[in-house]
Structure 1
């Protein structure tokens, strides 16, 4: 979901009540085959997969402790997880999963079909990403180890929602569901690791130890995994160079230094960065209701200059929401909003808002070079008479409730790449994860519904995705600026760091180098 990385990363503070410093120093002795230490630029809002945000680094925290029903492989394929196989019925209104036998949660209790049903019902009611199960009308155990989901209309996104990045498939055990208020700082999953709450300090370090009941012990590559929150770029590089950290979120601004230090650099197209407009109805800023104003915001941006100066070879200008190689990408849309300040001014004048558009832009935490990106956009808009004030936030714990007040019309964002239907369902439909102001666009909803009737990768599915992508770009619901690569910096002691356009890099795949 919302992620951000900045060249001078902000510090985040906080502590789990009563947490001890035990385990805080073991990583200082350097890399070892027993301990993997990861650096993330921001801590999670919660450890509960029900309400966790996604994107990197937030998704890493549930990845380590919760196995998903479906596992997304680094090449993008759906592979067995807690479910061994799954299939839609002929009419595509039922989705049947046959579960893996012998699975136990980290407290030793065995996983049953009833546990999976209870979890999915819980997620449908309270999950952050309600769209994943939004078409599900009934969830039931149809065999000792079989679960069936009934759908109101076809939904090709279920395998994505139920994987480790969607998190609707991150099954929580019965003891965790019985005490959901504890899941913010403890874990009760069937994944390879579990949190050690005594050694964990909120927004400082998260310590994971082996789940003794994990069904595939050969895939537990480390005795302990520590995720340290290092929001300062200089401190992060120092930790890598001295071996205190073995893998870290990278930033393009630090790639040259990482290369010079002999670190591995792994990259792949990862996310679209730019601005999301929540106030499409013009409740806060009436001008934003006019598509010409939103288009002017796009024409005013010098994408090429921003991409080159802030991201170098790890970023490219973009005006759309998916990268080349994903169904729904439309090549001609890349030139839809060329840098044209005169055109922007003309559109503002035509709409009756010349030199009168003024609003506050909230900065989402953890956007790559986020402060500089926001400042560059603001400078471009000032050149055409648009007055934008920046409001920084220091963590998602601050950011999420701030946006929930519905007092701010727009936010910077990192939107992690997935299939195009994810863009439609999370950005412009109602309800949608990012649609915090609750605007409704009937055609956007209709285009999403047309996509749901097709298989994602079928020719008809791709055509439907292209139609949706075109509508979103033409109507300027967002101001995309740059497509950036995700970067990992790693020491030579860690292998298995491959990742494709999506899914995001999964730390459970990382292993000691041979």
Structure 2
């Protein structure tokens, strides 16, 4: 059901969040990748850096299903080979054509969205991709009760095929985020064949997309390796750079580097704990900042931790942490320090905000005293060992103790354990790792009162008003409003950001084409990978 809340005397309906569990897993999994690469190769006997007709791509997690409507953007390394998105987010953050050649909002207020599809495209099963096929898939996708993609289309009221290759989406409430949702990062535009939609179980362990490859089920072992071969119906043969692509699941980050050293894997999603090892192995490392990582000061009403209800306390915690020191100690790069809710290259980023919470323990103590806590207080915190987030918590704990704030830490060993505890509302300050792209995606999980990273359901009338303007704004006005939202969240100190954790990719020598930046949310179009000349 749609999330809604009151704005003054008018009812304002926000975009429906993704299902809480899948959204949290998506973000944590993405953070796992962020705190954790890509490359191509021939055989298991090749030397590190060798590139040939076959590509083996390493991934730390296996997908719950190969059905993109039931899946999760954290598993894009499995979906992207078989499914071209409707549009592609470029390295500079702009959008280029994919299955659609024209797209955008029509009229005022971001209430209607139109797509014009590419001519002559077929799915791997031979079915033509046309407006009716796209409508069929998007209606199927938004009807799903599980998976994290359906929520991205929560504001879609109806979909109409207005011509052989044109589709119009009518929205029940303004929503500026559809183009981003339809690109490769979130994958809502990974269109599957209507034949497969008619038999959706066929998509659990198979593919029926309009991408350059398709799954070879005879050479696939679920949760171990997935083999993709060229799609004979693909519209652009020049983008089929390999005769075979195998995605191999390797959960252990050290084992991933060993496999790359041995030439068994030529490209992989990386891990922040192995960045230096990857560089030492002669691999190309791409590691743009991607995820806001720190503490979520979620109990802003003081239900469990009364001090957090005072904005001065939340601001004090932000002043008490030396972000650059933590970024250097944990990630080897103080430039990853982060105090705001956007990254350089993103529309909401404002360089003038970087110094807002410059390290100042004296000011932190003064604010704590003014709020009635001159001797500090004890703050219950939830963390997890996943991708080293517990190390982040320990580093923050050591610095907060200097201003009298003692963290009482509960650590969960798995993503699912962490999620269940986080959404329970029993922990006022859970550790957070949340991928940053724009203020709309931040709203889905963090700002929305029903978002999984807002377990105490905080709302703020001024913030709601800013979001209402932003959701209805055109691109020209959108950037300024995103900056205002960013600044207001900082002033209210909704979280304690510490670093923009990197989403990393490793490439063997001889591979080109992959470009990951903060502007494209650190999510490249993997099928651009190719052997160098």
Answer yes or no: same fold by TM over 0.5. Answer: yes
1:148 is displaced (CA, Å) by 0.2
Cα displacement (A) at 1:51: 4.1
Q: State the alpha-carbon separation in 2 of the partners of residues 277 and 54 from structure 1.
A: 26
Contact 2:59–2:250, Cα closer than 8 Å, also in 1: yes
2:345 and 2:519 in contact (8 A); partners too: no
Deviation at 1:45, TM superposition (A): 4.4
**Alignment partner, residue 485 of structure 2:** 468
Please point out which of 45, 54, 67 is paired with 1:35: 54
Aligned to 2:19: none
Indicate the SS of the match to 2:352: helix
- In the alignment, is residue 358 of structure 1 matched against residue 358 of structure 2? no
Post-superposition CA distance 1:443-463 (Å, at most 9, x none) = 32221111122233x2x3222
Q: 1:82 aligns with which of 99, 108, 111?
A: 99
1:6 to 1:38, Cα distance in 2 relative to 1, 3 A: closer
Kept in 1: contact 2:69–2:150 (CA 8 A): no
Match of residue 4 from structure 1: 31
Offset of residue 201 of structure 1: 4.3
Does the CA-based 8 Å contact 1:48-1:187 persist in structure 2? yes
Residue in 2 aligned with 1:16? none
Provide, for residues 15-74 of structure 1, a one-character-per-residue CA deviation record: whole Å limited to 9, x for no partner. Answer: xxxxxxxxxx9852335523211223333444333343335xx32222222221112223
SS at match of 2:81: helix
Q: Which 5+ residue runs of structure 2 have no aligned equivalent?
A: 1-26
Aligned equivalent of 2:254, options 234, 241, 262: 234
Give the counterpart of 1:298 among 301, 308, 318: 318
SS in 1 for 2:395: helix
Q: Secondary structure at the match of 1:29?
A: coil
Cα distance in 2 between the residues matched to 1:83 and 1:385: 53
Once structures 1 and 2 are overlaid, which stretch shifts more, 462-471 or 375-384?
Answer: 375-384
Q: 1:480 to 1:238 in 2, by over 3 A?
A: same
1:470 Cα deviation after fit: 0.8
> Which secondary structure state, in structure 2, belongs to the residue aligned with residue 37 of structure 1?
strand
1:311 aligns with 2:331: yes
Task: Report whether the alignment pairs 1:67 with 2:84.
Answer: yes
**Cα distance in structure 2, aligned partners of 1:133 and 1:331:** 32
| 1:115 is the counterpart of 2:136 | no
Instruction: Trace 1:121-140 onto structure 2 (pairs within 5 A).
Output: 121-126=139-144, 128-129=148-149, 132-140=152-160
Matches within 5 A, 1:66-465: 66-91=83-108, 92-126=110-144, 128-129=148-149, 132-180=152-200, 183-313=203-333, 315-352=335-372, 355-363=376-384, 365-366=386-387, 369-383=388-402, 384-394=404-414, 396=415, 399-400=418-419, 403-432=422-451, 434-456=453-475, 458=476, 460-465=477-482
Q: Find the partner of 1:483 among 483, 497, 500.
A: 500
Alpha-carbon shift at residue 252 of structure 1 (Å):
4.9
Distance change >3 Å, CA 265–CA 444, structure 1 → 2: same
Residue 314 of structure 2 aligns to a residue whose secondary structure is: helix
Contact 1:129 1:433 (C-alpha < 8 Å) held by counterparts: no
Distance 2:416 2:78 in 1: 15
Task: From the superposition, tell whether residues 67 and 115 of structure 1 become closer, same or farther in structure 2 (CA, over 3 Å).
Answer: same
Q: TM-score, normalised by structure 2?
A: 0.82
Worse-superposed segment, 297-306 or 263-272: 263-272
Confirm or deny: 8 A CA contact 1:140 1:148 kept in the other structure: yes
- Work out whether residues 337 and 498 of structure 2, in 8 Å CA contact, stay in contact via their aligned partners in 1: yes
Structure 1's 73 and 279: CA in aligned 2 closer, same or farther, altered over 3 A?
same
Counterparts in 2 of 1:322 and 1:290: CA distance versus 1, 3 Å: same
CA RMSD for the aligned pairs?
Answer: 3.1
Query: C-alpha displacement at 1:191, in angstroms?
Result: 1.9
In structure 2, distance between residues paired with 1:292 and 1:122: 47
1:471 positional shift: 0.9
Is contact 2:176-2:440 (8 Å) kept? no
SS at match of 1:360: strand
How many residues align? The count is 492
The separation in 2 between residues aligned to 1:34 and 1:372, in whole angstroms, is 41
Matching of residue 48 in structure 1 with residue 67 in structure 2: yes
3-state DSSP of counterpart to 2:259: helix
* Distance in 2 of aligned mates of 1:203 and 1:343: 51
* Inter-partner Cα distance in structure 2 for 1:78 and 1:292: 40
Distance 2:138 2:456 in 1: 27
